[in-house]
Structures are given as structure tokens and as C-alpha cells.
Structure 1
């Protein structure tokens, strides 16, 4: 194998090994309250923990109650101690079921979204 072929093969191998990292997307690692949990008392905030730092201006959290009414958080902020966490301060939630719908953009520009449910006892 000549040096040119060796360089081409090496470059191809390196790009193949690094490709999965380049296409990785942020994942929700944890939430408070946890998905499908029953909590009491009602949480004062919803906290979402991701595996990558987030862009706050492009991050949203929406709560929808069991009647389909949107319950707007009074504030959405990143955790000052953790750029991978997003916090929504909730108004006083009554007993019932809620769906958390979220979307965010990570610092690498990938948009991700998801949802989960929890219940206030």
C-alpha cells in the first residue's frame, strides 16, 4: 500500500469513527417530577435534565392539564449551576393529571422535543 492510499484509508477510518458524535442529539436524562409519577404536594417547578448544554432562548416547557387547558409556567430559566438543566416555575397546580411538553435547541444547533405525564394527588 502506498502512502497516498494509507492516508486516504486513515482519513476514512477517522471520519467513520467520529461520525456518531457529530450526529448525536440531546436526550432528556431525568425530570422532576418524574415521568408517570404521582406527586403530593403539587410541584413548584418542573426540572428537565439533559445530556448536553441548552440554548435558553429556544427552549420551551408547556403544561397541559387533563381538560386540555394550557397552564403557562410563570418563568422558564436555565439552572445557573448546570447549563444542561431547564427549570419552569409552575403556578399553583390543582390535583389532576398533567402533560409536560418540551422543546429545546442544544448548543450544537439540534432541535429536540418530547413530552411526559405526571399526576398531582
Structure 2
């Protein structure tokens, strides 16, 4: 009887591990420019690579300079060759610090957002 209880407990624990992996939310995997990097020259585009395919109509990118001015990309699109990559054409950037603020919805309906900084030399 004790052995049977142990097997049921182990099976329940294994199913929870599988469930938590399946319920994991989309995350930003990489970016260009990279978070906390110093770049030169200023990037003409920003690329965000996620762990899951994205829904463009619900994706936003905002760039804020060190003075608090908001710079809006001229164009944001999902990379036609990679549905997990969001690409934004950036306005001309001068030397200084910038914060990238992003939000998106994945094809499974999860909304995710985040931010990171980088500097232009």
C-alpha cells in the first residue's frame, strides 16, 4: 500500500513538471542592440527575438532617450522569415542612453512586456 502511494505521488509530480513547462510564457531571448550594450554607430533598426511567434497588431516598441523624450519607430514588423522576431526601423539616434520598452501578444494569446537599455557612443 505504501509503495502504491509513492507511485501516485511520483506520477503527480511528473505531471506538474510537464504542465509548468507547457504553461511557460513567451520571453525575449535576444535583442539587437543587446541589453546594456554600448553601440557605435547608432543602430538603424531594433530587432527583438522572442521564444514564440508574435501577433503584429498587438506589438509595440517605444524608445525613450535619457531626457525622457519618446522616439517612435517609423515602422514595426514581424520578420517575414521569422515569426518570432519583431523588427523596428529606428529614427536617427544621437550619442546617449536609451530605454527600449516593448509589449506584444503571442499567437497563444499571452501578453508580455519588458524593457532594457543601451547606449550610443
Q: TM-score of the superposition, structure 1-length normalised?
A: 0.86
Residues 1-121 of structure 1: pairs in structure 2 closer than 5 A: 16-121=16-121
CA distance in 2, matches of 1:20, 1:45: 35
CA distance in 2, matches of 1:37, 1:81: 26
CA distance in 1, matches of 2:21, 2:59: 22
Cα 1:120–1:13, aligned 2, differ >3 Å: closer, same or farther?
closer
Q: Unpaired segments of 5 or more residues in structure 1?
A: 1-8
CA distance in 1, matches of 2:108, 2:115: 22
CA distance in 1, matches of 2:41, 2:16: 50
Q: CA deviation at 1:21?
A: 3.5
Q: Unpaired segments of 5 or more residues in structure 2?
A: 1-7
Cα deviation digits, residues 4-58 of structure 1 (max 9, x gap): xxxxx7x967853542243210011000000010101100011000111011110
4+ residue runs over 2 A deviation = 11-18
Q: TM-score of the superposition, structure 2-length normalised?
A: 0.86
Count of residue correspondences: 115
CA distance in 1, matches of 2:98, 2:104: 20
CA distance in 1, matches of 2:14, 2:34: 39
Pairwise CA RMSD = 2.0
Secondary structure at the counterpart of residue 82 of structure 1? coil
